[in-house]
Structure 1
Amino acid sequence: MLLRPLLALCGLLLPLPGQASALDLRLPGNASLSAEQSLVLDSYAMPIGAFANGALPVQNLEGRITRQAWRISAQGLTSLQILDPLRRQLADAGYVTLFECEAAACGGFDFRFGTEVLPAPDMYVDLTDYRFLAVGRGEGDHLTLLVSSAANVGYVQLIHVTDGTADAPEVHVGFSASPGGAPNAPSDPESLEQRMVQQGHVVLDDLTFDSGSSSLGAGQFATLAALAQFLLAQPDRRVALVGHTDAVGGLDANISLSKRRAASVLERLVSAYGVPRAQLEAEGMGYLSPIAPNQTDIGREANRRVEAVLLNTD
């Protein structure tokens, strides 16, 4: 496949065999790939102008196409703050901007539903806060980004089209906590510590659980690494891990599930990061404390979370 997630929080990118000329795009360390489709020969109607007079101007492209959707923690971030580092990376790599627009200037609702968007919950577009960028490098290399932000989660859709020749460039998407990523991401221990002290709680929103399961997904999670560093550096601090669910199902069952998920996070912090058990406790709130409407897929997704709540040390 053309694009693949590289689980390299340290910023390391691994080369692909047979690669001729690759672009390395960096996303924040807490980014996660939610969808990917790669086709050797397909077509894509790339927007090259705003929706106007009942039509969306497009350039019809054919070739090797990869489509990806990414989710990024975006507490306090706008779509521009997410897009800007990616836009600069593309410019540095020699891509030229063909078209760029923001929400209403794109055509609002009409643009959003006139262009290709991967389905929810993998990709979500807030009609009041989204941005689109189309770039090109030569005649056979085009790439578009659609970025939006809602419910403290950023969404990035990337569509890359090449002419399909053997020496066509590939795009790597890697994780990075470098300044090129989004600011104030939870993968930054200093950012997490600052928000814990100032706000008293942080949503650990890069965690993954199987549907209906209390088992924390395999692999590393940037928020857990940052939280562990915070607690190990300050042994007098204590944190309650509080699980939350959406409103599907009964209250008792959801409270039980949310507490088991919080307990799973607690065990991971103890076993994988060496955090003393005495600094942690696990609780569950079920659906009693939503942060988004439960009437939509994106709202329910946001409500299924685990938060770290700073406890009084007195």
Structure 2
Amino acid sequence: MLSAADLSLSASAAAISERVTALGVYQLPIGSEDADRVPSERFEGQITRRTWRLDGGGTVLQILAPLREQLVEQGYEVRLDCAARDCGGFGFRFGIEVVPTPDMMVDISRFHFLSAAKGKEAVSVLVSRAGEAAFVQVISVRPPDTAAEVEKPVVPAEPDSVRPIELAKVLEVRGHAVLTDLVFESGSTRLREGQYDSLKELAGYLAANPQYRLLLVGHTDTVGSQAQNAGISERRAQSVKERLVEAHEADQGRIDVAGAGFLAPIASNLIPEGREANRRVEAVLLAD
């Protein structure tokens, strides 16, 4: 069995990632989306974000139900328990915190969300299906006096086998994927030196699938004007293309670039974590 906070998942659940913030603020969703707003309650402490993948059958509710039972048995009070449309669909999905793809995938029409609290502790569980697989995200908050004062990096499970499959699946199922491991020089549009698994995987995918092309789209937060950000985001996408061609011998004729600026956020630009998530480069799959 795998443990998430004090929850146990089935033995078939494969851990994908873990992110631990020693001290932070989590806005626990406690109501369905209403007028572009998801009601929430503030919790402060150590925040742990974990994700898993489960291959095979089972509805999202069948996966979530035993986790809900465990929380109730531990004395947690359920604050919100809703499915896709009842939660608010698209508006809810983009109004709550979700670990970036490919570590967590959410189908707008097939997800179930649960939040619960016990005193100063809070837990949220998000379950969704994507193709033949199901994804589980658990975010838990514990007060600082009960939390270990450490901060862990993302730890993917079996990176040599799981991550390449995940990126390909994200591209084929959703048509686009955020390249989450890219790091740019501070205050620059240049990609920092180093090896990036996502670029190696993209180049390999292009080589194995000559019927497809890629569009690399840069995105920014809302700091500055849209005109400035459109230019910055396009130059960052161009930097990624150059690295693909130079380091991985990708066919430059099958890779286009574009800059969206701040027109397509995936998180709130009102908080630092949201602005960081919005500064990204996405790969979009195109037919050749």
Normalised by the length of structure 1, the TM-score is 0.47
Paired residues for 1:229-244 under 5 Å: 229-244=204-219
**Is the contact between residue 18 and residue 154 of structure 2 (CA under 8 Å) also seen in structure 1?**
no
Going from structure 1 to structure 2, the CA distance change for 1:106 and 1:267 (only over 3 Å counts) comes to farther
Matched, 1:217 2:227: no
Going from structure 1 to structure 2, the CA distance change for 1:237 and 1:285 (only over 3 Å counts) comes to same
Paired residues for 1:91-170 under 5 Å: 104-107=116-119, 110-111=120-121, 128-129=124-125, 148=139, 159=148
Paired residues for 1:142-291 under 5 Å: 148=139, 159=148, 177-178=157-158, 188-291=163-266
Which of 1 and 2 has greater Rg?
1
User: More relative contact order in 1 or in 2 (CA 8 Å, sep 6+)?
Assistant: 1
Structure 1: segments with no counterpart, 5+ residues: 1-25, 36-44, 53-70, 78-101, 113-126, 131-146, 150-157, 162-171
Looking at structure 1, the residues matched to 254 and 205 of structure 2 have their Cα atoms a distance apart, in angstroms, of 11
Looking at structure 1, the residues matched to 154 and 228 of structure 2 have their Cα atoms a distance apart, in angstroms, of 38
Question: Match of 2:104?
Answer: 75
| Cα deviation 1:48-77 (Å, max 9, x = unaligned) | x9899xxxxxxxxxxxxxxxxxx8753227
Paired residues for 1:13-32 under 5 Å: 28=16
Deviation at 1:187, TM superposition (A): 6.1
Between the two proteins, the alignment pairs up a number of residues equal to 181
Looking at structure 2, the residues matched to 261 and 206 of structure 1 have their Cα atoms a distance apart, in angstroms, of 14
Deviation at 1:231, TM superposition (A): 0.6
Question: Match of 1:312?
Answer: 287
| Cα deviation 1:248-295 (Å, max 9, x = unaligned) | 101111001000110111011111111111111111000011111211
Q: What letter corresponds to residue 105 of structure 2 in structure 1?
A: G
Deviation at 1:218, TM superposition (A): 2.4
Looking at structure 2, the residues matched to 216 and 209 of structure 1 have their Cα atoms a distance apart, in angstroms, of 4
What RMSD over aligned residues (CA atoms) do the two structures have, in Å? 4.1
SS in 1 for 2:201: helix
**Is the contact between residue 187 and residue 222 of structure 1 (CA under 8 Å) also seen in structure 2?**
no
Looking at structure 2, the residues matched to 215 and 34 of structure 1 have their Cα atoms a distance apart, in angstroms, of 28
**Is the contact between residue 206 and residue 212 of structure 2 (CA under 8 Å) also seen in structure 1?**
yes
Looking at structure 1, the residues matched to 154 and 266 of structure 2 have their Cα atoms a distance apart, in angstroms, of 30
Going from structure 1 to structure 2, the CA distance change for 1:224 and 1:284 (only over 3 Å counts) comes to same
Structure 2: segments with no counterpart, 5+ residues: 1-13, 23-45, 47-73, 78-98, 107-113, 127-137, 141-146
**Is the contact between residue 215 and residue 283 of structure 2 (CA under 8 Å) also seen in structure 1?**
yes
Deviation at 1:34, TM superposition (A): 8.8
**Is the contact between residue 220 and residue 278 of structure 2 (CA under 8 Å) also seen in structure 1?**
yes
Looking at structure 2, the residues matched to 216 and 275 of structure 1 have their Cα atoms a distance apart, in angstroms, of 17
